[in-house]
Amino acid sequence: MTTVYTLTIDGRDVAGSEGQTVMEVAEENGIAIPGLCHLEGVHDRGACRLCMVEIAGSPKLAAACMTTIAEGMEVTAHSEQLLEYRRAVTEMMFMERNHVCAVCVANNHCELQDTAAALGLTHFDLPRISPKVDIDASHRLFAIDHNRCILCLRCVRVCDEIEGAHTWDIMHRGLETRVQTDMGIPWGESTTCTSCGKCVQVCPTGALFEKGRPVAGGSKTKRPFLPWLKVVQEERGL
Amino acid sequence: MSRTIVIDPVTRIEGHSKITILLDERGEVSDAHFHVTQFRGFERITQGRPVHEMPAIMARICGICPVSHLVASSKAVDDILAVEPTPTGADLRRVINLGQIVQSNALSFFHLSSPDLLFGFDADPAVRNIVGVARHSPQLARDGIALRKWGQQIIEWLGGKRIHPTGIVPGGVAEPLSAEVRDRILAGVPEAIAAVERAIAWYKSDMLRWEEEAATFGNFRSAFMGLVDRQGNVDHYGGWIRVVDADGKYLADKVDPRTFNDYIGEAVEPWSYLKSTYWKAMGYPDGIYRVGPLARLNVAERTGTPRADEELEKFRWRVGRVAGSSFHYHYARLIDTLHAVEKIEELLHGPDILSKHVRSVAGINRNEGIGVSEAPRGTLMHHYRVDDDGIVEWANLVIATGHNNMAMNRAVLQVARHHVKGETITEPMLNRVEAVIRCYDPCLSCSTHALGQMALAIDLVGPDGRVLDTLAR
Ligand code: SF4
Ligand code: SF4
Ligand code: FES
């Protein structure tokens, strides 16, 4: 029997079962916490830091997607300070790479864009880094433009946990961090990639895309297939 | 003592430019330079981008003729994919390209040039504008606005968006045409034809008033370049390159547009960012040629549509088989527009125009591609090189204003010789320099591949390099 905990999020009384994260309970109760790396159907990784919340009694902010609930927890998911903080995090995502929405495959279907809009991020104050970043278009069907990658690692997780190929991983550190295929070889030469396209589907931005699609005006749209895969996994007791 | 005149800005043209007029020891005009003073290197930013993005990026070079860049760019990518668009895809591209021709020609003639023609080149600028036209000749203004709108609607309905349309893609077009949209466009045809024909009738009845301008506005011998179809008729979308000399003799015919680099050279002058193209066989600067509506009519046998052909016959009867004066760009632009409207109608009545096969799909099959089409202002060429993954390594554009660069300089020189007297820039001379440039309808934002608004200044410079007078507005 699962234990049920009661807690408050933004002053609202809510309940969830043991093992659930603050993010999941908030979602079930219609409380939207921003997040770009969280993806239903794969394990959370706490990569984007957008879902940070305040927990009464703790001096540190906690990632809602990585924090499991406890009895009597008092969570603040929305405050002026958190909003400021989330804006800053989002701004850094833009500044770290080169985003030119007007000619991007994901324009108007982009979770980064949507997040910026929802947070009311209207202008950038941070200096641009404008790094010289690569595009790998060696795969027959897909390409990755690292200019638009926010390192959410959804591709890494979906490839590993659902497709079971583990083609994607990360390399380097700090500003040099990149997702990579196999051991850093061109995607087109990967021997593990099954060309299933799941990574392309889950990428929240225009970083991963199908080659040869007309660009701009948002030719990249999503198919909601992950929740079904999750159901299948659960039924099989995986 | 020597002197120079500089005009800045040329109002009612798009972009940023400056004119210098050089005087010699005797105070006579010795040379004139039309400078383009802005540069933002559009080719550079495309390096490293996947080639499929090129049409969308290129459509953003220019808010005035985005479709033209979209067409030339998509054709260059077709070439890299080594595919032909499906027949319906090609026809839909033609329709949207012609919609662009109609709207851009209408802007040039009615909004920008008709005020000069109607009120005279020296009339008060407060009246010499489209609002003044609307007051004085409401029908003319209404026709201009309606034509432009119809052209813009075609772009919007077929291209998805009016300003930066995306409907044209490598291999064809993104979406098939619906019967409903086809009929909506066709419903506007009779009114569009009537509007252009009214403008042509007015132009013909009044053209004698502009005899002096016609004689001095860039009236010189040069070659002309344009695309023609297999019958030698005007072709705004494909076909062959034909070049004729001032007497109508073929300098080249049936040239595969993909080989344009064998025929055309690009020269750089220190005073302008705008490259001057020249006909290689004749060398630089003798290989001067013009493109655009006037060139299209000069190189072609016929337009290929009945009403425009009837007008073309009268045009040739009035101004000759190969019209030499740049002033006749206006007249030619109207006939070009009439042809475009008729051609849109013809294409939309095609039996397969609603076919669902609008796009050919392929991967990267060549490392180099060239796309050539007719933009409102003349022949437009896109040339790309990509690596095996389709990443752009190099790009070059040859745009209409570049083809016409030498001709524009020559035209400004001619007007300056005729009108510069003494060491000051006079209003009439400023007006005429502006007006002669406007004949070519240059679009300077794409000439330098820069984004932004253009303005013009004139400097009058003496032989010692001293600026004697400057006029800007
Ligand atoms: S991924 Fe594309 S649409 Fe999203 S923010 Fe970046 S450039 Fe804009
Ligand atoms: S490629 Fe896309 S899915 Fe993968 S880490 Fe980058 S943004 Fe996330
Ligand atoms: S959603 Fe929690 S860190 Fe990204």
Q: Are residues B102 and B191 in the same domain?
A: yes
Determine the Cα–Cα distance for residues A68 and A23; give it in Å rounded to an integer: 9
d(CA A57, CA A62): 12
Examine the domain organization and report whether B211 and B349 are in the same domain: yes
User: How far is CA A73 from each of CA A6, A10, A28, A45, B146, rounded to the nearest angstrom?
Assistant: 8, 11, 17, 22, 66
Mean pLDDT, residues B227-234 taken together: 96
**Res. B472 pLDDT band, cuts 50 70 90:** low
∠ at Cα B146 (B141, B152), nearest 5°?
A: 130
Q: Is residue B156 part of a domain?
A: yes
- What pLDDT was estimated at residue B23? 83
Q: Mean pLDDT throughout B197-203?
A: 96
Q: How confident is the model at residue B444 (pLDDT cuts 50, 70, 90)?
A: low
Query: Looking at the structure, do residues B293 and B342 belong to the same domain, yes or no?
Result: no
- The pLDDT tens digits for A20-79 are 999 999 999 999 999 999 998 899 999 999 999 999 999 999 999 999 999 999 999 999
Whether residues B101 and B211 share a domain: the answer is: yes
pLDDT of residue B52: 87
Q: For B338, how many CA atoms within 13 A lie in the half-sphere containing its CB?
A: 27
| Nearest atom (ligand 2) to Cα of A37 | 8
Whole-number pLDDT of residue B468:
79
- Domain membership of residue B199 (yes or no) is yes
pLDDT the model gives residue B37: 52
Longest dimension (CA), chain A: 54
Chain B residues with CB-CB distance to A140 below 8 A? 363
pLDDT for B446? 46
Share of chain B above pLDDT 90, in %: 53
Task: Please state whether the peptide bond connecting residue B9 to the residue before it is cis, i.e. omega within 30 degrees of 0.
Answer: yes
Q: Check whether residue B330 and residue B350 sit in a common domain.
A: yes
Inspect the interface and report whether the beta carbons of A217 and B161 lie closer than 8 Å.
Answer: yes
> Closest-CA residue in chain A for B167?
A214
Determine if ligand 1 sits within 6 Å of the CB of residue A104: yes
Average the pLDDT over A190-209 and give the result. Answer: 94
B296 and B355 fall within a common domain: no
Those residues of chain B whose CB sits closer than 8 Å to some CB in chain A are 48-50, 52-53, 55-57, 59-60, 160-161, 164, 166, 169-170, 174, 361-363, 389-391
Average pLDDT across chain A, whole number: 90
Rounded to an integer, what distance in angstroms lies between the CA atom of residue A119 and that of residue A109? Answer: 17
Q: Which two structure tokens, joined as six digits, stand for B229?
A: 């179809």
Please, which residues have CB within 8 angstroms of residue A29's CB and are 6 or more apart in sequence? A9, A12, A14
Residues B100 and B202 in one domain: yes
CATH code of the domain containing B92: 1.10.645.10
- Top pLDDT among B457 and A236 is at B457
- Rounded average pLDDT over B452-472: 67
Pocket of ligand 1 contains residue A97 by CB under 6 Å: no
Q: Is B41 a residue whose pLDDT tops 80?
A: no
**Is residue B77 in a domain?**
no
Instruction: Tell me what pLDDT residue B443 has.
Output: 65
User: Does B36 map to a domain?
Assistant: no
Give the closest residue to B405 by CA, choosing from B288, B293, B252, B251: B288
Q: Does residue A223 carry a pLDDT above 70?
A: no
How deeply is A105 buried, as exposed, middle or buried, from its count of CB atoms within 10 A (0-12, 13-18, 19+)? buried
What is the predicted pLDDT for the residue at B92?
96
Q: Which amino acid is at B139?
A: Q
What residue ranges define each of the domains in chain A, with the CATH number in brackets? 4-78 (3.10.20.740), 84-235 (3.30.70.20)
Range from A74-78, A91-95, A145-149, B48-52 carrying the lowest mean pLDDT: B48-52
Domain-ending residue, one of B361, B378, B413? B361
Which one of the ligands is nearest to A32 CA? 3
> Which range (A52-56, A80-84, B36-40, B337-341) has the least confidence?
B36-40
Say whether both B206 and B355 belong to one domain: yes
Is residue B11 over pLDDT 60? no
Contact A137 B164 (CB under 8 A): no
3-state secondary structure of B33: strand
Whether omega before A59 lies within 30 degrees of 0, making that bond cis, reads no
Q: How far apart are CA B221 and CA B144, in angstroms?
A: 31
Confidence class for position B232, pLDDT limits 50, 70, 90:
very high
CA distance linking residue B271 with residue B313, whole number of Å: 41
* pLDDT at B17 exceeding the cut of 70: no
CA closest to A186 among chain B residues = B389
Per-residue pLDDT at B16: 54
My answer on whether B171 and B99 are in the same domain is: yes
The pLDDT value given to residue A155 = 96
Does residue B171 lie in a domain region? yes
Q: Indicate the helix (H) or strand (E) that contains B338.
A: helix B329-348
Most confident of A38-52, B9-23, B119-133, B424-438: A38-52
Total domains in the fold of chain B: 2
Q: Whose CA is closest to B144, among B117, B184, B104?
A: B104
Gap between the Cα atoms of A106 and B387, Å rounded: 24
Question: Residue B308 domain-assigned?
Answer: yes
Q: What is the pLDDT of residue B55?
A: 87
Rounded-to-integer distance, Cα B334 and Cα B102, Å: 9
Q: Give me the residues paired with residue B50 across strands.
A: B391
Instruction: With CB atoms and an 8 Å threshold, state whether A216 touches B390.
Output: no
| Residue at B278 is within a domain | yes
Phi (first) and psi of residue B268, to 5 degrees: -115, 130
Classify residue B377 by its DSSP letter: T
Write the pLDDT tens digit of every residue in B150-198: 999 999 999 876 666 778 889 999 889 999 999 999 999 999 999 999 9
Tell me if A217 and B390 make a contact (CB, 8 A cut-off): no
A154 lines ligand 2 (CB under 6 A): yes
Find out whether the beta carbon of A36 lies less than 6 Å from any atom of ligand 2.
Answer: no
- Long-range contact pairs involving A161-170 (C-beta distance under 8 Å, separation at least 24): A161/A42, A161/A43, A162/A41, A162/A42, A162/A198, A162/A226, A162/A229, A163/A194, A163/A196, A163/A198, A165/A192, A165/A193, A165/A194, A165/A196, A166/A192, A167/A192, A167/A193, A167/A199, A168/A199
Q: Does B391 sit within 8 Å of A102, measured CB to CB?
A: no
Residue B139 sits at φ, ψ, to 5 deg, of -65, -45
- On whether both B333 and B203 belong to a single domain, the answer is yes
B331 in Cβ contact with B42 (< 8 Å): no
Which contiguous run of DSSP H or E holds residue A101? none
ipTM attached to this prediction: 0.72
Name the residue of A39, A50, A82, A154 to mutate for ligand 3: max ligand atoms within 8 A of Cβ: A50
The pLDDT tens digits of the residues spanning B254-287 come to 999 999 999 999 888 777 767 889 999 999 889 9
Residue A144: per-residue pLDDT: 96
Q: Can you tell me the mean pLDDT for B376-405?
A: 89
Q: How far apart are CA A145 and CA A159, in angstroms?
A: 18
Please tell me which residue of chain A has the smallest CA distance to B165.
Answer: A217
User: B316 lies in a domain?
Assistant: yes
With a cut of 80, say whether residue B147 has pLDDT above it. yes
Determine the atom of ligand 3 nearest the C-alpha atom of A35: 1
Average pLDDT over residues B307-316: 98
Q: How many CB pairs under 8 A join A and B?
A: 54
pLDDT confidence band for B1 (50 / 70 / 90): very low
Residue A211: list chain B partners with CB under 8 A.
Answer: 50, 52, 363, 390
How many CA atoms lie within 13 Å of B468's alpha carbon, on the beta-carbon side? Answer: 24
Output the pLDDT for position B109. 92
Q: What is the pLDDT of residue A228?
A: 65
Closest-lying ligand 3 atom to the alpha carbon of residue A46: 3
Helical ranges in chain A per DSSP H: 22-28, 80-96, 111-118, 154-157, 198-202, 226-235
B119 and B267 together in one domain? no
Mean pLDDT lowest among A16-20, B38-42, B114-118, B397-401: B38-42
Q: Among candidates A94, A112, A107, which has minimal Cα distance to A37?
A: A112
pLDDT band at residue B58 under the 50/70/90 scheme: confident
Is residue B141 located within the same domain as residue B195? Answer: yes
Q: Find out whether B447 and B8 touch, Cβ atoms under 8 Å.
A: no
- CB spacing of B50 vs A137 below 8 angstroms: yes
CA distances from A62 to A21, A54, A76 (A): 11, 6, 10
**Dist CA A85 CA B412 (whole Å):** 59
Predicted confidence (pLDDT) at residue B449 exceeds the cutoff of 50: no
pTM for this predicted structure: 0.82
Range of the domain at B152: 84-219+325-361
Q: Show the tokens assigned to B291.
A: 């493109």
Q: What is the mean pLDDT of residues B128-149?
A: 92
pLDDT at B456: 57
Q: For residue B122, what pLDDT is reported? A: 83
